[in-house]
Each structure stands twice: as C-alpha cells, then as structure tokens.
C-alpha cells in the first residue's frame, strides 16, 4: 500500500509533486510537457493533491499547466496508476504506458525527497 489513510496530502509544494512523479511520467504527460503551451509547476507553489479516481490509492499530483483556448489548465498525473488529467479531462487509455517503469511491484525506492518524516 502506498498511502496511510490518516496521512494528509491535500496540498503540497510543487517540488514535492514533481518528486512524486519523477521517473514515472506517462508518455501522455511527457508529450504535453514537450509543447510550447506547457509551464511546469514552480517549486514553492502550493498545489492540491487529490485521491486518484481510478485506482483510489495514489494521488493526482500537479506537474504543471498548459494553455488551451486562452485558459490555463492544470496538468496532473496519478503517482500510482499514471492516469493523466488535463483540466477536467481524464486520460486513462495509455496510463500504463510509462517510459521507464515496467512493473507495479517495484513500488519502493521512489519516494526519496517525497516523504515528510511522519514518525
Ligand atoms: Zn491512480
């Protein structure tokens, strides 16, 4: 299990969101990041973290923003099942297509710099 139910993760800093997604960016997120309309979240910006609607285990972490039709839309990805959300649009189709993470059983060792020491 990735998350303690009692753990609060409603908000975090931008660098924490990026650290949580490091090494597990889906191809869809990477392709969005490659566009001129994309702006990454700033390190000390406070961004929301919401429970993932798909896996109900991970959190939707804010990676940055993309400008679409003159609107600034948040770009978020689940740190567990890799679903991507752009604005209110959810993408689950290629969520398992992650560049350098081929197995869900290697869930350990990714959270350096992500954990506030809670004990
Ligand atoms: Zn998820």
Centre of ligand 1 from the C-alpha of residue 92, in Å:
9
pLDDT at 109: 47
Centre of ligand 1 from the C-alpha of residue 83, in Å:
6
pLDDT at 92: 83
Full-model pTM: 0.71
pLDDT at 5: 53
Residue 47: C-alpha distances to residues 69, 85, 102, 106, 108 (Å): 22, 14, 28, 27, 24
- Report how far residue 36's alpha carbon sits from residue 21's, in angstroms, rounded to the nearest whole number: 21
Centre of ligand 1 from the C-alpha of residue 39, in Å:
23
Centre of ligand 1 from the C-alpha of residue 84, in Å:
9
- Report how far residue 54's alpha carbon sits from residue 44's, in angstroms, rounded to the nearest whole number: 28
Residues with CB under 5 A from ligand 1 (ion): 52, 54-55, 58, 78, 80-81
Per-residue pLDDT of the chain (119 residues; tens, 9 = 90+): 455 555 555 899 999 999 999 999 999 999 999 999 999 999 999 999 999 988 999 999 999 999 999 999 999 999 999 999 999 999 886 555 555 444 444 444 444 444 454 45
């Amino acid at each position: 299990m990735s998350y303690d139910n009692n753990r609060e993760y409603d908000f975090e800093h931008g660098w924490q969101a990026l650290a949580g997604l490091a090494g597990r960016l889906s191809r869809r997120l990477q392709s969005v990041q490659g566009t001129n309309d994309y702006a990454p979240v700033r390190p000390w910006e406070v961004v929301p973290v919401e429970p993932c609607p798909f896996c109900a285990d991970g959190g939707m972490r804010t990676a940055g923003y993309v400008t679409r039709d003159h609107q600034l839309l948040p770009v978020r990805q689940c740190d567990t099942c890799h679903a991507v959300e752009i604005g209110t649009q959810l993408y689950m189709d290629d969520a398992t297509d992650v560049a350098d993470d081929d197995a869900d059983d290697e869930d350990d060792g990714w959270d350096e710099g992500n954990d506030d020491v809670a004990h």
